[in-house]
Amino acid sequence: MRPILAVFFAVIVSCSAFAAEKPNIIIIFCDDLGYGDLGCYGSPMIRTPHLDRMAREGVRFTDFYVGASVCTPSRAALLTGRYPIRNGMCSNDRRVLFPDSKGGLPDSEITIAEGLQEAGYATMHVGKWHLGIHEGSRPTDQGFDHSFGIPYSNDMDPREGIRHREHAGRQDPPADGWNVPLLRDNEIVERPADQTTLTKRYTEESLKFIREQKEKEEPFFLYLAHTMPHVPLFVSEDFYGKSPAGRYGDVVQELDWSTGMILEALRETGLAENTLVVFTSDNGPWLVMNDEGGSAGPLREGKATTWEGGVRVPAIAWWPGTVEPGVTSIVATAMDLFSTSLSLGGAGLPDDRIIDGRDLSAFLRSGKLPPRKPVFFYHGRELYACRLGPWKAHFHTRPPFRAGGAKDHETPLLFHLPRDPSEKRLRPEDGVGIKALKEIYSAVSEHEATLKAMPQEVD
């Protein structure tokens, strides 16, 4: 073979091998972790050395949003890349699924796991599900080869005589006070689940899965959805009493340890440079739980609100050798992980439905900024706010949970978030503000024109 042709074919083979090497994808999704609960996000009391290192070695997002400010719709948005209003996983009443709920994530929805499974990935769910317990909506019905975890929030299914709020603030909530089951592939393996062991057992399951896939040399998708730090808080003996921030700090420090174990396993197995790991949270902190509820840092309010503290969460993307270390202020969302994951895995996006998430793979690989896109914030099935560029407009606001009714704002509350992330300084109705509102109104109109009436799956 002539030298020039040899070089040409060598390049073709090299490029083909690169294209064929699909990165592993791990999404670590915490429950109720606040924007201000990690050292790399400014926590002065909670020590998170592994996550701080992850942030130094990866990219830390300052403006990362979830699809909803409570569990069920947020998880639906993450896994489908779609606002919950599109798949029915939202409600103006209960807002999340309960053990007696009849609905769940519709079988017609396409999840990250289903897309990657079709592309040849092994898929594993570990941790909290909270998207339905009925056939068609369970993890193994939604693209996961295997599942290990609890079906809904750890404060649900209380045992007789136990009331959640009576025990939430206790130094040691009764470990057997809740009857939440621990499932493996839809079969109960423990009931009630020993919640003091969950973070460690989730970690062990995740490490086992990673090492098994290393031996099989198959690309994999791991969705690790931690139960903590959702109240009631439980922590293993190794981390009990170790944080000056109390039991909440103990719990977060155990989550930090868990993440460190996973990253170290990737390094040890030689998988680190071919694995994207994203660490984030499903919504903001449960502030009404006081010391048990975490911190939103400089952001306003927390869980169950559409203020920044309820919908903006910590997020770190780590991919050694690919992701350039740094801090980014691009506006990104959990829904973007759907499009990004399928793109990286070589799976095509479904063309029979609207996907709200953007593909951030070019940003992760080369720092290319994605085009600007509005972010919409719903309370149940009602649009409450919209962010476009640096501006956020609130059409309605309300305190968390049932602390008070909604306030309708004939003139939307307008804030410039880069200058005022705490949403304290209302923007005056000057020319700049009026122009920003017009652009937001236009974005809302375009968005609402794409909505179809979907049955409510949360009851």
Using CA atoms of 184, 190, 196, 197 in order, give the dihedral in degrees to the nearest 10: -50
Whether residue 13 lies inside any domain: the answer is no
Whether residue 277 lies inside any domain: the answer is yes
Residue with the larger pLDDT of the pair 4 and 291: 291
Distances (CA, A) of 374 to 6, 140, 391, 392: 49, 33, 10, 10
Domain shared by 145 and 246, yes or no: yes
Residue with the larger pLDDT of the pair 454 and 270: 270
Phi, psi of 129 (to 5 degrees): -100, -70
From 30, 71, 90, 386, the catalytic residue: 71
Give dist(CA 418, CA 440) in Å, integer: 17
Residue-wise pLDDT for 230-261, tens only, equals 999 999 999 999 999 999 999 999 999 999 99
Domain shared by 199 and 143, yes or no: yes
Domain shared by 386 and 326, yes or no: no
Task: Let me know the angle formed at the C-alpha of 457 by 160 and 225, rounded to the nearest 5 degrees.
Answer: 65
From 50, 130, 226, 379, the catalytic residue: 130
Question: 48 near 295, Cβ under 8 Å?
Answer: no
Confidence (pLDDT) at 12 = 32
The yes-or-no answer on residue 71 being catalytic is yes
Domain shared by 414 and 326, yes or no: no
Confidence (pLDDT) at 158 = 83
Confidence (pLDDT) at 157 = 87
Domain shared by 332 and 399, yes or no: no
Whether residue 167 lies inside any domain: the answer is yes
Among 366, 393, 411, identify where a domain stops: 366
Domain that holds residue 73: 21-366
pTM > 0.95: no
CA atoms within 13 A on the CB side of 94: 14
Among 340, 366, 392, identify where a domain stops: 366
Residue-wise pLDDT for 309-347, tens only, equals 999 999 999 999 999 999 999 999 999 999 999 999 999
Domain shared by 393 and 265, yes or no: no
Whether residue 4 lies inside any domain: the answer is no
Phi, psi of 94 (to 5 degrees): -75, -30
Whether residue 6 lies inside any domain: the answer is no
212-241 mean pLDDT: 97
Residue-wise pLDDT for 289-302, tens only, equals 999 999 999 999 99
Confidence (pLDDT) at 456 = 80
Among 324, 345, 366, identify where a domain stops: 366
Confidence of residue 159 (pLDDT cuts 50, 70, 90): confident
Domain shared by 433 and 323, yes or no: no
Q: What percent of the chain has pLDDT over 90?
A: 86
Domain shared by 335 and 439, yes or no: no
Cis peptide before 285 (omega within 30 of 0): no
Whether residue 420 lies inside any domain: the answer is yes
Domain shared by 340 and 241, yes or no: yes
101-125 mean pLDDT: 97
Residue with the larger pLDDT of the pair 136 and 10: 136
Residue-wise pLDDT for 187-203, tens only, equals 999 999 999 999 999 99
CATH of the domain at 247: 3.40.720.10
Confidence of residue 8 (pLDDT cuts 50, 70, 90): very low
Confidence (pLDDT) at 83 = 98
Confidence of residue 213 (pLDDT cuts 50, 70, 90): very high
Residue with the larger pLDDT of the pair 457 and 274: 274
8-29 mean pLDDT: 60
What is the tally of structural domains in the chain?
A: 2
Q: What is the largest CA-CA distance in the chain?
A: 83
Domain shared by 72 and 215, yes or no: yes
Whether residue 10 lies inside any domain: the answer is no
Mean pLDDT for the chain overall: 92
Confidence (pLDDT) at 18 = 37
Confidence (pLDDT) at 452 = 87
The yes-or-no answer on residue 130 being catalytic is yes
Confidence (pLDDT) at 163 = 53
Whether residue 398 lies inside any domain: the answer is yes
Residue-wise pLDDT for 160-194, tens only, equals 665 544 444 445 677 668 999 999 999 999 999 99
Confidence (pLDDT) at 444 = 98
For the cut 90, the answer to whether the pLDDT of residue 443 exceeds it is yes
Confidence (pLDDT) at 169 = 44
Domain shared by 344 and 431, yes or no: no
Domain shared by 350 and 388, yes or no: no
Q: What percent of the chain has pLDDT over 70?
A: 92
CATH of the domain at 379: 3.30.1120.10
Buried b (16+ CB within 10 A) or exposed e, 344-375: bbbbeebeebebbbbbbbebbeeeeebeebbb
